[in-house]
Structure 1
Amino acid sequence: MRPAEHGADPGGGRTLALTDPPRHRQLRELVDGWFAVRSVRALEEEMRDIARSVVDRALERGGCDFVADIAARIPLYVICKMMGVPQSDWEHLYDVTSQAFAAGDPVTRRFAHLEILGYFETLQEEKAARPGDDLVSVLATASVDGERLSPEDVILNCDNLLVGGTENTRIAASGGMLALLEHPGQWHALSQDPGLLPNGVEEILRWTSTATHIMRTATRSVEIGGRRIAAGDRVVFWLPSANRDEEVFEDPDRFDVGRQPNRHLALGFGEHFCLGAMLARVELRLLYGELLKRSVRVELDGTPTLLSSIVVNGPERLPVRLKAG
């Protein structure tokens, strides 16, 4: 919910997240194939290697911040690979995205975000001149309605893909781990039956509901739940509430990795259904699968800190001890 005094959002009408059809569909079609089931499955072995190396590093240390040292790294490394970011720059982007997403100081967050935009300004120029097989090259050489995307539009959409491909998965992964620590019987159920893991991932997505809200402007008058909404009204949809709707979910305040059916809305719906939904599910499955496969014992090593935000919902810091079984 952008304050009116901030003016129009610079990404409005230009990025996937902030654009209506038909342009939204045109932008989405440029990159949709990269996030399709077949493409994600083709990347799965490399994603598994990334998850394995991240868990290895955390186990060597014995203790870590699950948010920063595990949950943040896996989706960031994966989306960097898809975007054609050289591996030598992954740690740099890890540092600046950590500041942009999680720093307590708003000035630090702002400057980190500007640094991300500056990085993609340079990268899109390189990819426009020498395209490769990656997402930034697709955007840097793309045309919509016969016109090349402007460099500014490419940069904004690169930023959009980086944020979308990392932030919510980071928070869902760490929020899911916190839920499993608070409900040890559910972790035991997964360890006894790894076949429950896909269901467990869906329950983690429902339970964490990391993107807290969506705001839309009504295009026509309608009545919903006895409330009249007029054309032009702004309507806010709260995902944590929807994902605990007692008319949809039996015992909605119970965390249950075996829950079926689980028709949650954590990944959105309709035109703006999360582009990276399949990618996020696979990343979560690989992370928890790696921990389960090695019988890793995870214990709290301090008090978790939650994010202070109405935009996203979950841990800011989750100190843990890890030991392979």
Structure 2
Amino acid sequence: MADVAARLPVEVAWIFLGIPEKDRPALTRWSLAAFCSDSAVERAVAHLEILDYFHTLADARRARPADDLVSVLSRIEIDGRLLPLDEVVLNCDNLLVGSTENVRLAMAGGVQALLDRASLWQRVRREPDRLMPTLVEEMLRWTSSATHLVRTARRDVELGGQRIGAGQRVVLWLPSANRDPIAFEAPEVFDVARSPNRHIALGAGPHYCLGVQLARLEIQAVVAELIRRVGRLQANGEPERLESIVVNGYRTLPIRLEAEEIL
């Protein structure tokens, strides 16, 4: 999870956010601890370190802007007033989570699905160009790494025979939606050639993930390199799942990668 799946999305996030190279190791460490540590105290402390870091960086970028997202956010004006620093920091935090955590979890969970299905791994290796686009979408559907969305009903409505009143809170569980037999044929099958694949792993409508194309590119880049270099995947220990209702996936996923001639 840290050695392979996290590396590319984390580095890309640091580039977009304009994180100085000297600060990246510490921020990477805090980011992984905030979401992967099995200690609630360590997770909380790491998250506070991240927020404190972005507060300091945003303050500095407001005084001396650079060519990065933190500078853009720190100098946004609404009704003639700069966006409060606390809101800049929370936006930076959300960008960090969205651009690293979900990609890492989807990528790793998809590779785990291929590990459990050796014949599919060989099939993808034989037809990488044809299957890569559908494989990436199936990884996103299968893992549904962002678990739920909460919304407030704006008007009275009946949905699936259930009355929902205006003002009521509604929770949509993405893993359930992405395994809906009405929407998907054989939803419990990991199908590398599934098409169409109208999953909502990255949201929908006005709240559709802003980084959807970047997420797809990052997953495709790493998986394509694994396909090129790795002949066989083997479990190398017992994986551990995260205990969270916010994100869905693995805390650890030890895999042995064996080189082999391309079939």
TM normalised by structure 1 equals 0.78
CA contact (8 A) 1:300 1:319 kept: yes
Structure 1 residues 36-55: aligned runs within 5 Å:
none
CA contact 2:144–2:248 (8 Å) conserved in 1: yes
The 5 Å alignment of 1:155-170 reads 155-170=89-104
**CA distance in 2: counterparts of 1:87 and 1:190, whole angstroms:** 36
Which consecutive unaligned segments of at least 5 residues does structure 1 have?
A: 1-66
Which of these residues, 218, 234, 241, is aligned with residue 283 of structure 1? 218
Aligned to 1:124: 58
Of 230, 246, 250 in structure 2, the residue corresponding to residue 311 of structure 1 is 246
State the shift of 1:88 in Å: 2.1
Distance across 2 between alignment mates of 1:296 and 1:279? 27
| Deviations 1:231-263 (CA, angstroms, capped at 9, x unpaired) | 111111111111011111111110011000000
Corresponding residue of 1:190: 124
> Hey, what's the Cα distance between the residues in 2 that align with 1:117 and 1:296?
41
Match of 2:259 in 1: 324
Contact 1:212 1:312 in 2 (8 A): yes
C-alpha displacement at 1:296, in angstroms? Answer: 4.7
Please say which of residues 83-92 and 109-118 is displaced more in the overlay.
Answer: 83-92
Amino acid at match of 1:178: Q
Question: Which amino acid in the other structure matches residue 123 of structure 2?
Answer: A
In structure 1, distance between residues paired with 2:58 and 2:168: 38
Q: Which moved more, 1:290-299 or 1:261-270?
A: 290-299
The 2-side partners of 1:122 and 1:233 are apart by 38
> 2:69 is matched with which residue?
135
Task: Give the structure 2 partner of residue 19 of structure 1.
Answer: none
Q: Distance in 1 between matches of 2:81 and 2:118?
A: 55
Residues matched between the structures, number: 259
**Is the contact made by 1:97 and 1:116 (CA closer than 8 Å) also made in structure 2?**
yes
| CA contact 1:81–1:87 (8 Å) conserved in 2 | no
CA distance in 2, matches of 1:147, 1:185: 58
| Separation in 2, partners of 1:198, 1:145 | 43
In structure 2, what is the Cα distance between the partners aligned to 1:125 and 1:236? 36
Q: 1:189 is aligned with what amino acid?
A: R
By how many angstroms is 1:324 displaced? 2.8
Amino acid at match of 1:69: D
Give the corresponding residue for 2:10. 76
Shift of 1:160: 1.0
Deviation by residue 1:51-88 (Cα, 9 ceiling, x = unmatched):
xxxxxxxxxxxxxxxx1111122111111111100122
Structure 1's consecutive aligned runs of 4 or more residues displaced over 6 angstroms after TM superposition are none
Residues 142-196 of structure 1 deviation map (CA, whole Å, 9 limit, x = unaligned): 1123221111111111111111111111111111111110112221111000121
Q: What are structure 2's unaligned runs of at least 5 residues?
A: none
Task: Report which stretch shifted further, 222-231 or 308-317.
Answer: 308-317
Q: Name the counterpart of 1:228.
A: 163
Q: Which amino acid aligns with 2:116?
A: E
TM-score (norm 2): 0.95
SS at match of 2:4: helix
Give the CA deviation at 1:297. 3.1
Please say which of residues 191-200 and 124-133 is displaced more in the overlay. 124-133
User: Matched residue of 2:135: which SS?
Assistant: helix
The amino acid across from 2:248 in the alignment is N
* Equivalent residues in 2 for 1:166-177, closer than 5 Å: 166-177=100-111
Residue type at the aligned position of 1:216: R
Q: Equivalent pairs: percent with the same residue?
A: 53
Contact 1:73 1:94 in 2 (8 A): no
Letter in 2 for 1:215: V
Question: Could you list the per-position Cα deviations for residues 251-302 of structure 1 after superposition, in whole angstroms to 9, with x for gaps in the alignment?
Answer: 1110011000000000001111111111110000000011112235321101
Q: CA RMSD in A?
A: 1.1
